[in-house]
């Protein structure tokens, strides 16, 4: 078994691979935001799971569409996430945070202008799709356990299948790059609410729905299934917290 890094070790990895302070600020901050959203979603899911297990048998419920979950009709108090259904098991919140903090570490390898050449930060459009696989390999080389490295490999879009890689002619080895557990799926989902554009910004459900539509109806449906499954974070509150715009 490889290393399960601490938050401090994760920060050291970001600083090691960031080619400039600007690159660190953009990418590390994005990872912190995604980890924050993912933790909120995981806590929301776990609260729903616990409520289902502790509610009286005759308590009102609404039928969920995820696993065997049935979500209580009432919302969870003081919860920044709304909607969603009961997951089939408790989610590992710590693993979600670790995965969120590391999921985009491979993006340091796909910068066209990395902050050292006097130009604004810019990602390479042709190579960007490689960032997940690059991050996975980087983490394995650092001795990180594969179960953690997979957060980098399996978070692009709403999950890249072998068929999609081949059909779109993507510069990736033909394979499935999709979440293999609940924790990876939550990080993949949380990632869609924040963009590493320059300047960075938050996205609403509707904004990402428009992005998903560019890749076809099935991609849009997969995104909306994720929304129904995990609920919607309070994007305006997050944007205020980080002083960033929303689209």
Closest alpha carbon to 192 in 180, 178, 177, 204: 204
Pair 48, 71: CB distance under 8 Å: yes
C-alpha span between 169 and 65 (Å, rounded):
33
Report the CATH number that the domain containing residue 79 is assigned in CATH. Answer: 1.10.3210
Would you say residue 186 lies in a domain?
A: yes
Would you say residue 117 lies in a domain?
A: yes
| 185 CB-contact burial (10 Å; exposed 0-12 / middle 13-18 / buried 19+) | buried
Most distant CA pair in the chain, distance: 65
Would you say residue 126 lies in a domain?
A: yes
Pair 197, 46: CB distance under 8 Å: no
Number of domains in the chain: 1
C-alpha span between 137 and 194 (Å, rounded):
24
Would you say residue 163 lies in a domain?
A: yes
C-alpha span between 38 and 113 (Å, rounded):
29
Would you say residue 13 lies in a domain?
A: yes
pLDDT values of the chain reduced to their tens digit, one per residue, 247 residues: 899 999 999 999 999 999 999 999 999 999 999 999 999 999 999 999 999 887 665 555 444 444 444 444 345 668 999 999 999 999 999 999 999 999 999 999 999 999 999 899 999 999 999 999 999 999 999 999 999 999 999 999 999 999 999 999 999 999 999 999 999 999 999 999 999 999 999 999 999 999 999 989 999 999 999 999 999 999 999 999 999 999 9
Domain housing 231: 7-246
Pair 159, 188: CB distance under 8 Å: yes
Pair 7, 31: CB distance under 8 Å: no
Would you say residue 94 lies in a domain?
A: yes
Would you say residue 2 lies in a domain?
A: no
| This prediction's pTM | 0.92
Per DSSP, 120 falls in state P
């Amino acid at each position: 078994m490889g290393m399960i890094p601490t938050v401090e070790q994760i920060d050291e990895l970001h600083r090691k691979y960031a080619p400039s302070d600007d690159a660190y600020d953009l990418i590390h901050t994005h990872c912190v935001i995604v980890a924050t959203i993912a933790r909120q979603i995981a806590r929301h899911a776990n609260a729903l799971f616990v409520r289902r297990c502790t509610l009286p048998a005759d308590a009102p419920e609404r039928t969920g569409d995820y696993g065997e979950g049935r979500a209580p009709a009432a919302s969870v108090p003081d919860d920044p996430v709304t909607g969603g259904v009961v997951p089939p098991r408790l989610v590992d919140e710590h693993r979600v945070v670790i995965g969120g903090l590391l999921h985009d570490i491979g993006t340091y390898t796909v910068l066209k202008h990395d902050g050292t050449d006097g130009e604004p930060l810019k990602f390479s459009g042709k190579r960007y799709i490689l960032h997940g696989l690059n991050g996975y390999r980087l983490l394995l080389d650092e001795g990180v356990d594969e179960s953690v490295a997979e957060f980098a490999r399996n978070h692009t879009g709403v999950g890249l299948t072998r068929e999609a890689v081949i059909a779109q002619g993507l510069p990736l080895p033909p394979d499935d790059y999709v979440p293999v557990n609940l924790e990876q799926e939550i990080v993949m989902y949380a990632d869609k609410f924040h963009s590493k554009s320059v300047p960075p910004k938050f996205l609403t459900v509707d904004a990402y729905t428009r992005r998903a539509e560019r890749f076809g109806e099935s991609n849009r449906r997969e995104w909306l299934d994720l929304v129904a499954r995990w609920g919607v974070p309070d994007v305006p509150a997050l944007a205020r917290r980080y002083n960033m715009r929303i689209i």
